[in-house]
Structure 1
């Protein structure tokens, strides 16, 4: 595995196809530095292309998941005498930072977020791009950007309404208020809340292992079709999945799943 300044990657146990991807700046409460935005898409691409990886757990090292973007990342743009050139360069930088978060959706393998402690600002951007989200009861969240005189620009305003509803997203984004893990569950931002980090970690590992044991073609297809269908009408979505399954359905995985069912055994699928 590659070495990173801001991340840590390792399998949850030897010979497992589930890998942890840790935000790994615990002394900074995992604030997102410029190095993070360079490294995160590279790490996801590496995991995506690794045939030994079937599922990814995204977590934070230390006491918090993520305290948001490092303020030094926001002030790193150099000014020039030409205002237009400064603005164009700043827009390119924002698009670069956005791409690092969107890499979560572009990763074919499912990404499960296990959230504890703070999940603020850029942390919300990240978890809304994950496929499944769980948290501890002491986790807390905030769409913090307006408190910093910023319009959130890395994906929260685009993804959060589809998860918690437009009204909830508007209220959270305009007030920047802190909300709890239980409220996050009530709104649908997370699926379950756990009493301790040990309980969270154990459950997430078990769910990830269960997903990783299924047909990788079916899992990657399900993620791809769900993400695509968000932007399509019902008829368009049905047409898209019909085309997808026309290409992917008649696979060795289908034969193996059918054989395993009749033989009353667990299926064993080839790597992707």
Structure 2
């Protein structure tokens, strides 16, 4: 995929409508340096804008998935704690919102985002994986809301998303103590979909799941993601009303007929790609 500059924190491969994003700073435990927070949202939104990407898979390299926020980010923030208090606070608020936007992008893109986790997912990494559609991990994985233990409150999505994913009592315990949360406990509480013996087995399995998603109508899958995200934050009546309005415009027959015909002919269906976002990408679509 063409980019305006080389990525420092990520590697990207694209095959069969699936984009595989890998964190590639294993020697630094894939900590989230300033470039991370810019590259991730730019990358996933560019993939979304293409129109031909149907699933994003995120994995990592090295011993741990990610050690979370790099110390350089805290150092940069600390240097801004000067000047008139109100203006300093307003600037801090904008900085936090910008960090939050990096992970918001995982929810906002049209396609599902699957995360394959191994080793430690610490601090900001919990914020990150909480924003994904589905999570998978290895036996050695552990999760830690580390921020509490370093004197701050997690502020990039963990405390807002986890209460929708696991029981209230558990999220409070994890946040208040900062203790490690094992793969088996995460599986038992429904935070992760599956636990695998090793990373290679996990990646193979997650890619097969991604292939199953990519084989379906991208319009139908995008609609599922939109509706599930919406109903999380709204009442059932409001969500049903939104569903009816969505269907009034989005429910068309070509994909339905193709699915039925393919089933009858015992072949895989072939669906038209979603339209690229020309407002973001212009008239040319980047090639993977």
- Check whether TM > 0.5: yes
Deviation, structure 1 residue 127? 0.5
- Structure 1 match to 2:9: 6
For 1:200 and 1:68, the matched residues in 2 are separated by 22
**Structure 2 unaligned runs (5+)?**
275-288
- Which whole-Å CA distance do the structure 2 matches of 1:179 and 1:35 have between them? 28
Secondary structure at the counterpart of residue 113 of structure 1:
strand
Q: Where does the alignment leave 5 or more consecutive residues of structure 1 unmatched?
A: none
**In angstroms, what is the RMSD of aligned CA positions?**
1.1
**Where does 1:61-210 land on structure 2 (aligned, <5 Å)?**
61-77=61-77, 78-210=80-212
Kept after mapping to 1: 8 A contact 2:54/2:218: yes
Measure, in 1, the Cα distance between the counterparts of 2:87 and 2:205. Answer: 49
TM-score w.r.t. the length of structure 2 is: 0.91
- String of CA shifts for 1:5-38, please: whole Å, max 9, x gaps: 1111112x4xx11111112221111111111111
What is the CA distance between 1:74 and its match in structure 2?
A: 1.7
Give how far 1:169 is off: 0.6
Indicate whether 1:18 and 2:21 are aligned.
no
Q: Deviations over 1:72-96 (max 9, x none)?
A: 1022132323122211111110000
Q: Greater shift after overlay, 233-242 or 246-255?
A: 246-255
Tell me the distance in 1 between the aligned counterparts of 2:98 and 2:163. 23
Counterparts of residues 189-268 of structure 1 (less than 5 Å):
189-268=191-270
1:166 deviation in Å? Answer: 1.1
State the number of aligned residues: 269
- Deviation (angstroms), 1:66: 1.0
How high is the TM-score relative to the length of structure 1? 0.96
CA distance in 1, matches of 2:29, 2:129: 16
User: Hey, what does 1:41 align to over in structure 2?
Assistant: 41
